A and B are shown apart, each in its own frame.
Chain A
Amino acid sequence: MRELKILAIIVVLVGITYWGIEPYAHSKMHPHHEPATFAYSDLKAIALNGDPNKGQQAIMNNGCTGCHSIKSQNIPAPMDPVTASASYGVNPPDLSNIAAVVDHKFLANVIKDPVKAFKLSHKFNDKKPFPMPNFFGSDQDLADIVAYLVSIAPKEVSPKEAYETACGRCHNLRYDHWTVIGEEPKFKTEVEKKQFELKLAQYESNLKKYLGTTPPDLSMFIRSRGHEYIRDFVEDPQKILHGTAMPRVGLTKEATEKVITYLEKVGDRKKEKRNSLGPWVLLYFVIFSILAYLWKQKIWREVH
């Protein structure tokens, strides 16, 4: 009985200490921010009843493909990533599956006024214009373009594809051999390797000039930031890191979850193994403790 009392005291004291260090101090160190809703309510709703055929025309007529590739429609990129980054700072995204990961209202607003939708007005203005110009066509044209992008987008994208479209042109993921210029190939010769590294270095240096800083590798972000932070951050980087060069990328809730799934697959690869081995080890020690207790009772009966 006395031993249970001692145990209770220890558990309570350790519990108080733990609570104070972890949830309490943690909440004081990280200022509270609103959780992500993915509503993008600051953006103007645009009627989304466009005609995909007209949208396809509009994309051609407005010169979108002068910068953007649509590989699924056999429209190749006009420039390789490194050259593109030298011109624009970053390689413009391929539009094949953009509508599958980006919120449609957000997509229309990005085409209309990228700086506003991306929340980058602290970085781009009349003196330093954003590489992608505003769209001056009608709202109907916008709706048509979005309708076209929706029509060509796949119904379902994999977690990895979601990451590549949303984050992959700025953030390396070295634990999955992903670089900002694409998947790192298997090199046959040292020369090939060095050439690839040179391209990567050139791209990264252009990116740094464009953003003012090198975007971090995200391999360990699932451990260093955790699910909740990543979700809220993706929805609106400015909300958490004021003045960051990272644009709001406008992902849907589902696409964000996919990005997080992928980050977890890369940064916490052994989660399943942990969860499957854990119960067995615990079971072993439960049995061990029971046997130890019975042995103790047997032996102590002689001395008490």
Chain B
Amino acid sequence: MAHFTKANSVYEWLDQRLALTKLWKVLAAEYWVPKNINFLWAMGVVLMTMFTILVISGIFLLMYYKPDTKLAFDSVNYTIMQEVWYGWLWRHMHAVAASVVFLVIYIHMLTGIYYASYKRGREMIWISGMLLFVTFSAEAFSGYMLPWGQMSYWAAQVITNLFGGIPFIGDDLVIWIRGNFYVSDPTLTRFFMLHVFLMPIIIMMLIGFHFYSLRIPHVNNQEGEEIDFDAEAEKYKAGLKKESKVIPFWPVFISKDLFVLGVFMIFYFYLVFYHYDFAMDPINFDPANPMKTPPHIYPEWYFLWSYEVLRGFFFNVGPLSAMDMGLIAFGIANIIFFFLPWFDKNDEVAPAAKRGGFFIWFWLLVADMIVLTIWGKLPPTGFNAYIGYVAAVGFLALFAALPAVTARKKGLLSLVILVTLALYIAGYLEYTKALGNGIVIIALFAIFYLLFFLNPVFVKNRGGAQ
């Protein structure tokens, strides 16, 4: 047992029992962060702040919210918005933070991809981050349902219906999830539980895990430089602050974070007070009405890209219906980012700008996701349907191409590009109804494959790369 002596102060008393000094060193004063980072690395602190705001404002909302289909709408729009002191402020802070948090998550994620922060020892950071993304999505969706407005109801109808596409158990699964044969009171009550209890607890545990996963591989930096953290930390502690490549989290790193956070909070509160409507769909201010379908059903902006991957496939191919293909693509889109560390065959940790083909790949991905997001909200009619198809196939193709891009296999890359182009042409013919059915499309595939294997240039390239 440890040896305890009489403490001379409260701090000392606590320090003997809780090792406060040591804890502070490990968590802050000697938690080493590379000096060579930019403000994109402050997104973690911004996210943490947003999550804290969500939890606290959520607790206040929880005091007055009624998870009952007859009371929910008025408890939000009347009780909280009009009767409760500053209820409107808590609600707007909650709604805006819920939306903005995704903007920051996407910036955080794309930063990780751009600087290759997901590889060589940092895989667990990436995976725990992606798990956070998925749980945040579930949290956002279950929260969006609670005001029981028109879009809450119809989005729930559409999203829960997706599970019906799972083979064999689909139909029963949908009923099990809804707790009824259609979206109704039991659905609202269970999503309420998920939103205020289960999901937040999982998120908190994952945040803890995400931080923990940083301890050994440490944070990446702007140049992808491999730093000997122990050696650099010794330099810093010896007073060679300017020479050392690392800085402690407290107070050096946090001082920059706080500035970034302050600027971000100006933006955030500007939205809360003057532009809260960007986060709240006007249609959701109509009470849920199962008898009246809104003209357009679409998710919140942060789900639009994967929603468009789902909607992108607009024609059947043989036995596969457009809906099945969409569902498969949607399923892939939602898990594919998890596998990024293994799809990227290059071991080099460096910013995309220094990685040639990967640089192009990264910006194509960003552009494609923006196109998917915008077209996810446009009515899927006319030429929009074809653009959605191009972007959805493009998204899958980008991930199919990633191993070829990073391993510099030109032949393989050409194959992916050819297949993608073939799919685009087939889709265009289908769109213009110039050619009627999927058999032709499959034939087109076959031709391209044959061309590929017979073409000596490609064959040679493939051999050469190995």
- Which of A10, A224, A269, A285 touches B269 (beta carbons < 8 Å)? A285
Say whether A220 faces chain B, with CB atoms less than 8 Å apart. Answer: yes
A25-B378, A224-B283, A285-B265 known; A3-B273 Cβ under 8 A: no
Find chain A residues with CB under 8 A from B296 CB: 29
Stretch at the interface among A102-110, A115-123, A128-136, A270-278: A270-278
| Contact flags B363-377 to A (C-beta < 8 A → 1, else 0) | 000100010011001
Closest to B304 in A: A21
Say whether B431 faces chain A, with CB atoms less than 8 Å apart. Answer: no
Query: Nearest 3 CB-CB pairs, A to B?
Result: A20-B374, A289-B262, A278-B273
Q: Which B residues are within 8 Å of any A CB, using their own CB?
A: 35, 38-40, 74, 77-78, 81-82, 88-89, 92, 103, 107, 241-242, 244, 247, 251-252, 255-256, 258-259, 261-263, 265-266, 269-270, 272-274, 277-278, 280, 282-287, 295-296, 301, 304, 366, 370, 373-374, 377-379
Cβ B269 vs Cβ A278 within 8 A: yes
**What's the Cα separation between A137 and B167 when bound, in Å?**
73
Say whether A281 faces chain B, with CB atoms less than 8 Å apart. Answer: yes
- Which of B82, B266, B285 touches A289 (beta carbons < 8 Å)? B266
Cβ B374 vs Cβ A25 within 8 A: yes
Find chain A residues with CB under 8 A from B244 CB: 303
| Contact flags A250-290 to B (C-beta < 8 A → 1, else 0) | 00000000000000000001100111011001100110110
Say whether A223 faces chain B, with CB atoms less than 8 Å apart. Answer: yes
Cβ A20 vs Cβ B370 within 8 A: yes
**What's the Cα separation between A122 and B278 when bound, in Å?**
38
**What's the Cα separation between A281 and B373 when bound, in Å?**
32
Cβ B377 vs Cβ A299 within 8 A: no
| Contact flags A6-19 to B (C-beta < 8 A → 1, else 0) | 11001001101110
**What's the Cα separation between A21 and B369 when bound, in Å?**
13
A175-B78, A278-B274, A296-B258 known; A224-B370 Cβ under 8 A: no
Shortest Cβ gap from A198 to chain B (Å) = 19
Cβ A6 vs Cβ B40 within 8 A: yes
**What's the Cα separation between A259 and B77 when bound, in Å?**
20
A282-B270, A296-B256 known; A226-B82 Cβ under 8 A: no
| Contact flags A208-229 to B (C-beta < 8 A → 1, else 0) | 0000000010011101111000
Shortest Cβ gap from A166 to chain B (Å) = 21
Cβ B273 vs Cβ A302 within 8 A: no
Shortest Cβ gap from B446 to chain A (Å) = 37
Can you list 23 residue pairs at the A/B interface with Cβ under 8 Å? A3-B38, A7-B39, A13-B370, A17-B301, A20-B374, A21-B301, A28-B378, A29-B378, A175-B77, A270-B82, A270-B88, A277-B89, A278-B269, A278-B272, A282-B266, A286-B266, A288-B262, A289-B259, A289-B262, A289-B266, A292-B255, A295-B258, A302-B241
- Which of B81, B282, B283, B377 touches A270 (beta carbons < 8 Å)? B81
Interface of A is mostly: helix
Say whether A293 faces chain B, with CB atoms less than 8 Å apart. Answer: yes
Contact residues, A72-126 vs B (CB, 8 A): none
Interface residue count on the A side (C-beta < 8 Å): 49
Shortest Cβ gap from A30 to chain B (Å) = 9
Shortest Cβ gap from B244 to chain A (Å) = 8
Cβ B103 vs Cβ A292 within 8 A: no
Say whether A127 faces chain B, with CB atoms less than 8 Å apart. Answer: no
Interface of B is mostly: helix
Find chain B residues with CB under 8 A from A18 CB: 278
**What's the Cα separation between A237 and B403 when bound, in Å?**
57
**What's the Cα separation between A286 and B38 when bound, in Å?**
21
Cβ B255 vs Cβ A296 within 8 A: yes
The residue in A14, A275, A302, A303 that gathers the most chain B C-beta atoms within 10 A of its C-beta is A303
Find chain A residues with CB under 8 A from B259 CB: 289, 292-293, 295-296
Find chain B residues with CB under 8 A from A299 CB: 251-252, 255
Say whether A190 faces chain B, with CB atoms less than 8 Å apart. Answer: no
Say whether A155 faces chain B, with CB atoms less than 8 Å apart. Answer: no
Find chain B residues with CB under 8 A from A303 CB: 35, 241-242, 244, 247, 252
Find chain A residues with CB under 8 A from B270 CB: 282
Cβ A273 vs Cβ B88 within 8 A: yes
Shortest Cβ gap from A279 to chain B (Å) = 8
Find chain A residues with CB under 8 A from B379 CB: 28-29
Closest to B295 in A: A29
Cβ B273 vs Cβ A20 within 8 A: no
- Which of A10, A29, A289, A302 touches B263 (beta carbons < 8 Å)? A289
**What's the Cα separation between A225 and B282 when bound, in Å?**
7
Cβ A223 vs Cβ B273 within 8 A: no
Excluding A25-B374, A292-B262, 9 further A-B contacts by CB distance (< 8 Å) are A2-B38, A6-B38, A270-B82, A277-B273, A282-B273, A288-B262, A303-B242, A303-B244, A304-B242
